[in-house]
A and B are shown apart, each in its own frame.
Chain A
Amino acid sequence: MEMALSGGLFFWPKEFTLEAYRVILRYDYLWVAFGNSAFITAVGTVISVLFTATTAYPLIKKFLPGQKTIIFLILFTMLFQGGLIPTYLVVKELGLLNSLWSIILPTALSGFNVVVVISFFRTLPAELEESAMMDGGNPITIFARIVIPLSKPVLATIALWESVNLWNNYIFPLMYLNDKAKYTLPILLRDIINGQETAKQTGEVLTTATESVVAATIVMVMIPIMLVYPFLQTHFAKGALVGSLKQ
């Protein structure tokens, strides 16, 4: 840790130490926060993808009454938001304060994602669905068995965006969660970093350099989402309709 304070530029690390990690791992709440973040990310992503897909699908049907109006209203939310305090009041009145659902539900459906999925669904040939209908499929089976499997790439993209957003989400947990047991990783890590800075200023005795702890906390947050990334990444590359339809 003395090396981190003396700074300078050198190619080879001067010494190896895990002291900074030991400092962070001492916080009991780290594992609670890990659990909360994992829950929010996993459940939030599933809900978000499900809602986005089920919202977008009917909206590509021209015969749906008020289809244009609904799309307009969705676009409207992309341009005009309620603002911080009104949103907070809504969350409060819904009784979601201090609940992990307050992070998941208010942003479950994003206007932008719906538009992306709609435009993807529009590229699916209507003939495909018609032939499925001929074979006796009802709209729900068509959606579940034909549309969803064909849309894996776009859904994976949405899932990736959402999961990164939820994992990194900082401002919502900050506003809505008061209880220590509900803290998520970004909030906790911010606290750890601020705590180190305060300790340094007030002359409290530290066992490691502030910069090392900051760097170690960043690594701790990054690792899980980095592990997920490559698996979703492969979906980006895949062609959308390969093998489903020959024209």
Chain B
Amino acid sequence: MKMARAVSIAALACAMVWLAACSSSGGQNTSGNAGGPGGAGSSSGTGASAGNGGNGDAIHYDVFLNFAAPEYPADGGKGKGVLLEKAGIQGIDFTVTLASGADYFTKLNLKAASGELPDYFSVDIPTMTRFADEGMIRPLDDLIDKAPVLKSTLRESDLEAIRYNGKIYALPVGYRPEPFNGPSIDGFLIRKDWLANVGLEQPKTLEELHEVLRRFTFDDPDGNGVDDTFGISAEKSTNQYPTKFETVFGAFGVIPHFWHNVDGRLKQGWVLPETKEALTVLQQWYAEGLIDPDFPIMERKQLEEKFINSKVGIITASGFWMTPAQPQNAAIKKLTPQAEMAILPPPVGPGGRSGYPDAGPNYGNLKALSAKAENPEKWFELLNWQATDEGQFLVFGLEGEHYTYDREKNLVSQKVTYSDLYAEGFSNPIRFFQVVDRRWLDNEESREGIMIVNNHTIENEFWKTVPAMLKYPDLPLLWSEYLVKIVTGIWTVDKWEEFVEKYYSQGGKEVEDEVNEAWSGQ
């Protein structure tokens, strides 16, 4: 009896759920019809365009970007008007909505699932491939071809890396031609004043670097009379960046997690014999006590603290550090007023090779166009204008009011903070097509440092993800484990051969085959 009652209650509950679902989908239809001509008024997009009254016939683009600018005004502020006026493109209008981080994607998926996909929005590679498979976003090849200025700023390798099913579904960032506007910014950051203290020149080769590290470790380079320094340190491995001390591997011509072309077949750097040579060097350095033993568990913040506190002489960091206005620079100068820094050219190995890892496509900043977007050519006219010299300046606001430009030095001096720019609706929130522009860098050393990094890169032949990589996500971890244990001397360098075997038997074979298949198809 009790059982029967429970069953009937459950049945009732199911029926209610079903009824609720029906009425909800019914409601969707009616509101969809009603919302068509008049504008439902529930989404911010329609609300804002209605508010613009006079611009009633303009094509309205609903833009949704993954960016955090809490100051950005809801109505687009002054920046919106300036952009539309300067670009001189008639009959368009836009609203920008921002969200940031992982939550951006939660919200994007909700919008997509409820049929409110924005017209132009940030994506990452997995979202891009999914939306492309579902036909929700539009291939951009023809539009890019019709936007010559925009096209000229794009890197061919970036486009190659995001090409999916032979088409480009998302717009990467562009780069200005100056070398300090290249994609890579991270290199070996060295304490130049320490070099002077121990009486050495900037190291050019791996051997000279070895000598520098030895002196940095044992010769009290900071002159405090205490043996408390290490030559070099690094932060702990992550799945995305499984290798530490890449530049030492680079001196042998490989970057362990990059794909290298070996006689027409792509192989990951860590299976190549050059990796073993680099491991030998690192193990020796560690045994001599030149490498900070904390590196396998170091957080980025701790690493920067060690450098700022004059405990390490070399870390991998960006060229921005030399700019006095940067907080890290100010922090070092406060503790050690005579501190000087420089980005080293990558040290040359015994075989004459060297290089920093290429930064690769900026996956964090891809933008896609909805298949339903009205008149996409018109939108690309605007993007093309943003790629022009005049358009690029909009990231700094208005000349005279927000910045001054010194043509001679090619230097942009900003009078206001980004926060103020965002509050007026300028800069990144309306930078629908981003061209990397670091002309605000007023420090010659910083500019030079970034230039050095970009002039000495080792390329990755294959940036994409193949299904096998997702199937065997632990391969980079396997490498990290061997890297740490071999460098710290727990295992001998010969253990590297065991790693190669394990790598191939635990899925590396499949990954390599798939990568080569995809690569030869390019």
- Enumerate chain A interface residues (CB-CB to B < 8 A): 1-3, 5-8, 23, 26-29, 68-69, 72-73, 76, 84-86, 88-90, 92-93, 95, 97-98, 171, 174-175, 178-181, 188, 190-195, 197-200, 203-209, 211
Contacts and interface: CB of A to CB of B under 8 A. Distances in A.
Contact of A6 (B43, B71, B305): B305
B438 interface: yes
Contacts of B98: 191
A203 B113 contact: no
B12 A69 contact: yes
B127 interface: no
Given A88-B114, A93-B27, A179-B44, A174 B103 contact: yes
A24 B438 CA distance: 26
B107 interface: yes
Contact of B301 (A7, A72, A208): A7
A175 B69 contact: no
Contacts, number: 136
Interface in B11-41: 12-13, 16, 21, 24, 27-28, 31
Contact of B110 (A88, A90, A194, A205): A88
Contacts of A76: 13
Contacts of A84: 106, 110
A192 B71 CA distance: 9
A148 B366 CA distance: 57
B308 A5 contact: yes
B325 to A, nearest CB: 5
B101 A7 contact: no
A90 B70 contact: no
Interface residues of B, number: 58
Interface stretch (B132-140, B239-247, B276-284, B415-423): B415-423
B305 A2 contact: no
A209 B328 CA distance: 9
A6 B309 contact: yes
B468 interface: no
Closest 8 pairs between A and B when the two form their complex, measured CB to CB: A194-B68, A180-B74, A7-B305, A195-B68, A203-B320, A5-B331, A2-B331, A194-B100
Contacts of A85: 109-110, 113-114
Contacts of A95: 42
Contact of A198 (B27, B42, B67): B67
B363 to A, nearest CB: 14
Given A69-B9, A180-B74, A207-B417, A191 B69 contact: yes
A8 to B, nearest CB: 7
Contacts of A174: 99, 103, 106-107
Interface of B: 9, 12-13, 16, 21, 24, 27-28, 31, 42-44, 47, 67-74, 97-101, 103, 106-107, 109-110, 113-114, 185, 301-302, 304-305, 308-309, 318, 320, 323, 325-328, 330-331, 334-335, 414, 417-419, 423, 438, 441
A195 B69 contact: yes
A89 B106 contact: no
Nearest to B110: A88
Contact of B100 (A5, A195, A211): A195
Main secondary structure of the interface of A (DSSP, over half): helix
A175 B70 contact: no
Given A7-B302, A92-B114, A195-B100, A175 B107 contact: yes
B365 to A, nearest CB: 10
B114 A2 contact: no
A2 B302 CA distance: 14
Contacts of B16: 73
Contact of A175 (B42, B100, B110, B320): B110
A183 B43 CA distance: 14
B334 A2 contact: yes
A104 B55 CA distance: 35
Contacts of A73: 13, 16
B338 to A, nearest CB: 16
Contacts of A26: 71, 419
B42 A98 contact: yes
Contacts of B323: 203
A6 B44 contact: no
A180 B110 CA distance: 18
Contacts of B24: 86, 89-90, 93
B441 to A, nearest CB: 8
Given A5-B331, A7-B301, A178-B44, 12 more contacts: A6-B305, A6-B309, A85-B113, A85-B114, A89-B28, A180-B73, A190-B68, A190-B101, A197-B68, A203-B318, A203-B326, A205-B414
B42 A5 contact: no
Contacts of A179: 44, 47, 74
A197 B146 CA distance: 36
13 contacts: A2-B330, A5-B328, A6-B308, A76-B13, A84-B106, A85-B110, A175-B106, A180-B73, A190-B100, A191-B70, A193-B68, A194-B100, A209-B327
Contacts of B327: 1-2, 5, 200, 206, 208-209
A8 B309 contact: yes
Contacts of A203: 185, 318, 320, 323, 326, 438, 441
Nearest to A96: B42
Given A7-B309, A72-B9, A194-B100, A205 B326 contact: yes
Contacts of B331: 1-3, 5-6
A28 to B, nearest CB: 7
Contacts of A209: 327
B70 A27 contact: yes
Contacts of A92: 42, 114
A202 to B, nearest CB: 9
Nearest to B6: A72
Contacts of B28: 89, 93
Nearest to B304: A5
Contacts of B320: 203
B74 A181 contact: yes
A85 B101 CA distance: 20
Contacts of A29: 70-71
Contacts of A98: 42-44, 47
Nearest to B69: A195
Nearest to B13: A76
Nearest to B95: A178
A95 B72 CA distance: 26
